[in-house]
Structure 1
Amino acid sequence: MSNILFATSEVFPLIKTGGLADVAASLPRALIKLKHNVRIVLPGYASVMKAAAGDVKKVTVFDVDGEPVTLWKTLLPGTRVLVWLVDAPAFSERDGNPYCGPDGFDWPDNAQRFLLFAKVARLIALNQAGLDWPVDVVHCNDWQTGMVPALLAQDNPRPATVFTIHNLAYRGLFSWDTFVSLGLPHELWHMDRLEFYGQFSFMKGGLVYADRVTTVSPTYAEEIQTPDAGNGLDGLLRHRQAVLSGILNGIDADEWNPGTDKHIAQTYNRRTLTNKEKNKVALQERSGLEVSEKPLLGFIGRLVDQKGVDLILSNLPQLLSEGCQCVILGSGMKDYEERLAQLAQEFSEQLSVTIGYSETLAHQIEAGADIFLMPSAYEPCGLNQLYSLRYGTLPIVHAVGGLRDSVIDFAEPTQTDATGFMFYQYTAHGLYNAIQRALAAFQDKKIWRMLQNNGMSKDLSWQRSAEEYGRLYGELLE
């Protein structure tokens, strides 16, 4: 089978800021099961080098434009996936978030850092980094790797390139002055190449130059070709629609498995769904909520506009007053954090808010909640609705992107294939109506159990998605 170089700026558990890290951890493993030979190339951030210390081996040392670079190899923890770490001072001598400083603003040299990463990936792809590993396909992910296809487009022969959009809102935008400072060929500053309304975009490097462009759900692939969701790139994406496709993400079915989950109070499966109630009690006790049969809603995610937190806040006081409970885990905009904390004080036995992130609590919410709220304004794919289906926790979602592709709305009492609840108008009232439909179904234990079983019966693993990527690689290599 083919040799796949998987270029990414994060991979769980070495470094994670979002869903890209989960995809980068799971997809290569699924591809290896299909007999592809996959290796990951990842920036050697300070935290990654510390986490991998003792389990790394130096492979080679070389200069890129006068910058010393050391390549180390390690295995992704708990897997057979080999990872090459790009150890350069711009990455390995800087603590903290991989993209922004302690002040919350992007590192001022991000363009230089990720262009260096792209140049190293190019050398590996062309088998010019002393690794003796010929590459058939380079699979790049999001703006941080967008310059890899752009650089490789100048080479002949070269491996095929695939570029996956995980979130088009982050386009990797930089100024003309930065473009000049990078020493890139002047002809790249063109509206049909990297120039973007007076700036230049790393994301466009992937969109313009990759042989195939994918994104993380079929509906999102359609949405980004429209002005509403295209972030100014919809015209380019329409132009390239013949090579654009949407492949729905999967989940790590071993990590997110209620039958073996070590984070939760009681394991369960479809045949032992009554044991899920023990997780609800444990979550209520852990969160300081009244232990009762009241409907328990959960939310895990960034507290930002994209995730529909404004809609949740608009509805929470009324829902809590009507007897619902809610457990929220996340961090983000200070205004949202403060308003949620204030509500948690006012409804101390019904609302629990944890600012930050805890992997253990995330699993416990998925297992213990009855209903999961995911009213995102837009969602390229989403993972939490998939985890919720797996755990028999019925999701309420806005009908966009991967949410629309992965949840079947329970629209009428006679429907037998539904897995959750969907709303189509992005308003507080739209979300409230969907919640009321869910609460009505919750009162009918037979219907509720049917919906839970439907969701838990779905094949949400990466096997299906990996097979689609495998076919795509095959088409390119033909």
Structure 2
Amino acid sequence: MNILHLSAECYPAAKVGGLADVVGALPKYLNKRKVNASVLMPKYGNEWMKNHSFETVYEGNAPLGENKFKFKIQKGENIALGYPLYVIDIPGRFDRPGIYSETETGCSFDDTFERFLSFQIAALDWVKSMSDQPDIIHCHDHHMALLPFMISRSNRYQLIAQIPTVLTVHHAQYHGRFELQKTALLPDFDSKHRGLLEWDRQLNCLAAGLKCCWQISTVSPSYMQQLSEQSNGLEWLFENEQQKSRGILNGIDTAVWDPDSDSLIAQQFNDDTIAEGKLANKKALSRRAGFDLQYPLISYIGRLAHEKGADLLPDLFALFLSAKQPVNILLLGTGDRELHNQFEKLNRQYPDYFHAELDYNETLAHQIYAGSDFLVMPSRVEPCGLNQMYAMQYGTVPIVRNTGGLKDTVIDLNQPDGYGITFDEFTLEAAEQALWRALDLYQKDEQIANLRPRIMGLDFSWNASANDYIKMYSALIE
């Protein structure tokens, strides 16, 4: 069974969020099960790409509307990822540092549609040329969602139209919406199919993919259920396509996220050395942030975005900081510029209790998971969430809103066999109450000492999820 994954992100080559972690891990676990899985992604002008070698395996010249563009398919050389990594080099489109936006200004690229459309066209041209074609083409998110339409409806790809396509929706708030005139850039297709590209009088990439792919998957069962109620205008479509949809919970790469072998943390630890390990890593964080080690440490890691509930955090943190509550709060993330300003203000007001690093820092993220007592995730929308799983791998107790994949992975301490702190409503009051519960738990030495090995022992690896994907692929091929 040959599976080709197409994605805008793949860890460690290029990462903005959880999409990269999933695409960087799932193929590895599929290959461990004797499935030939590979990844195809854009060749960005970032440091990772510059520091690795690639061999050209195919060159082409493809249409983009009335124009043509040249591209190269290149295979990574001596890159130990657990799967073959291929990149598409399109001069003038991806050879810049940013993935979706300018690195300096944060503004989206003006040619976003042309970038990812040309990538998908080049990918299908390559597949069409192969002597050993993939059994499944697995597309990830709206950046790759025009591919199911093109492979099934474009005259250029009639010879490979029988290859099944899977579209995994990692976050349905983002659709890839553009003016309908952009449809003229696609390879020729019968005009009677134009409606498949349209949703609400716009070209909607995600909607087109949902209509045309053979199989829809999402990253948790609960999120699959929520999409027909909350998907930023695609609710009816998700409801209508339920017969070909399923939710498969994401896993995490336990080879990367393992406190017993993690080279990015101050001191490695395991089930037998949790107390010493957590203390040593908390000391490292406290030195960096200027915190008093004796206080509980609550952290947040993630994009500073509306769907992550990050706009709730300044007021939530200020409630505890202004009351001189003995708690330390650490934040790592980047995003909304107004939130940057608010967190910088908290940095100045409470330097001994609050520390925000407004950046993307993979090394620091590992250290925060290892050294924090609690990790808070107040998400409005959370398709799956990986941070809560990473935190538990390192003995850090999650504080999460009961939604999407957070609901599937964190059971409240008040429930039988519970191990985390959850809250239902997206309100300041509900989040505040959850943090008070965390501070109360911190005072119960025996309870928290027993809780940490329990959450570290939970299995959030890709093992079960990879098996579910294989079953899905097999059913499509049959």
The TM-score bracket by the shorter chain reads: over 0.9
Describe the shift of the 1:253–1:76 C-alpha distance in structure 2 as closer, same or farther (beyond 3 A).
Answer: farther
- Identify which range, 40-49 or 325-334, moves more after superposition: 40-49
SS of the equivalent of 1:60 reads: strand
Task: Give the counterpart of 1:59 among 46, 54, 57.
Answer: 57
1:430-441 correspondence runs (5 A): 430-441=430-441
1:450 aligns with 2:453: no
Describe the shift of the 1:269–1:354 C-alpha distance in structure 2 as closer, same or farther (beyond 3 A).
Answer: same
SS of the equivalent of 2:399 reads: strand
- Identify which range, 268-277 or 76-85, moves more after superposition: 76-85
Task: Give the counterpart of 1:325 among 301, 304, 328.
Answer: 328
Is the contact made by 2:397 and 2:452 (CA closer than 8 Å) also made in structure 1? yes
Following TM superposition, by how much is the alpha carbon of 1:180 offset from its aligned partner in structure 2, in angstroms?
Answer: 3.0
Describe the shift of the 1:258–1:50 C-alpha distance in structure 2 as closer, same or farther (beyond 3 A).
Answer: closer
CA distance in 2, matches of 1:335, 1:108: 23
1:271-290 correspondence runs (5 A): 271-275=272-276, 276-290=278-292
**Paired residue for 1:305?**
306
SS of the equivalent of 2:22 reads: helix
1:45-444 correspondence runs (5 A): 45-47=44-46, 50-51=49-50, 53=52, 55-65=53-63, 66-75=68-77, 77-92=79-94, 94-101=95-102, 102-125=104-127, 128-129=128-129, 131-154=130-153, 155=158, 158-182=162-186, 185=189, 186-190=191-195, 193-226=196-229, 229-275=230-276, 276-292=278-294, 294-320=295-321, 321-411=324-414, 415=416, 417-444=417-444
Following TM superposition, by how much is the alpha carbon of 1:364 offset from its aligned partner in structure 2, in angstroms?
Answer: 0.9
Return 5+ residue gaps in structure 2 as ranges. none
CA distance in 1, matches of 2:366, 2:393: 11
Q: How many residues align?
A: 464
Is the contact made by 1:46 and 1:91 (CA closer than 8 Å) also made in structure 2? no
**Paired residue for 1:18?**
17
SS of the equivalent of 2:20 reads: helix
Is the contact made by 1:189 and 1:200 (CA closer than 8 Å) also made in structure 2? no
CA distance in 1, matches of 2:469, 2:51: 29
Is the contact made by 1:38 and 1:82 (CA closer than 8 Å) also made in structure 2? yes
- TM-score by length of structure 2 reads 0.93
Identity of aligned residues (%): 33
SS of the equivalent of 2:331 reads: strand
SS of the equivalent of 2:275 reads: helix
Is the contact made by 1:324 and 1:350 (CA closer than 8 Å) also made in structure 2? yes
Following TM superposition, by how much is the alpha carbon of 1:333 offset from its aligned partner in structure 2, in angstroms?
Answer: 1.3
Q: Deviations over 1:338-358 (max 9, x none)?
A: 111111221111111111021
Q: Which amino acid aligns with 2:454?
A: N
Following TM superposition, by how much is the alpha carbon of 1:291 offset from its aligned partner in structure 2, in angstroms?
Answer: 2.5
Is the contact made by 1:14 and 1:51 (CA closer than 8 Å) also made in structure 2? no
Q: Deviations over 1:82-122 (max 9, x none)?
A: 12211112434x41312223543332222222122112222
Describe the shift of the 1:317–1:173 C-alpha distance in structure 2 as closer, same or farther (beyond 3 A).
Answer: same
Root-mean-square deviation (Å)? 1.7
Return 5+ residue gaps in structure 1 as ranges. none
Q: Which amino acid aligns with 1:77?
A: I
SS of the equivalent of 1:153 reads: helix
Q: Deviations over 1:417-452 (max 9, x none)?
A: 212110001101000111111222221122212322
Is the contact made by 1:188 and 1:195 (CA closer than 8 Å) also made in structure 2? no
SS of the equivalent of 1:56 reads: strand
- TM-score by length of structure 1 reads 0.93
Following TM superposition, by how much is the alpha carbon of 1:76 offset from its aligned partner in structure 2, in angstroms?
Answer: 8.0
CA distance in 2, matches of 1:384, 1:16: 14
SS of the equivalent of 1:89 reads: coil
Following TM superposition, by how much is the alpha carbon of 1:49 offset from its aligned partner in structure 2, in angstroms?
Answer: 8.1
Q: Which amino acid aligns with 2:192?
A: E
Describe the shift of the 1:459–1:287 C-alpha distance in structure 2 as closer, same or farther (beyond 3 A).
Answer: same
Following TM superposition, by how much is the alpha carbon of 1:78 offset from its aligned partner in structure 2, in angstroms?
Answer: 2.5
Is the contact made by 1:13 and 1:77 (CA closer than 8 Å) also made in structure 2? no
Q: Which amino acid aligns with 1:464?
A: A
CA distance in 2, matches of 1:184, 1:381: 37
**Paired residue for 2:476?**
476
Q: Deviations over 1:387-415 (max 9, x none)?
A: 01111100100111111111011126xx4
CA distance in 2, matches of 1:7, 1:48: 21
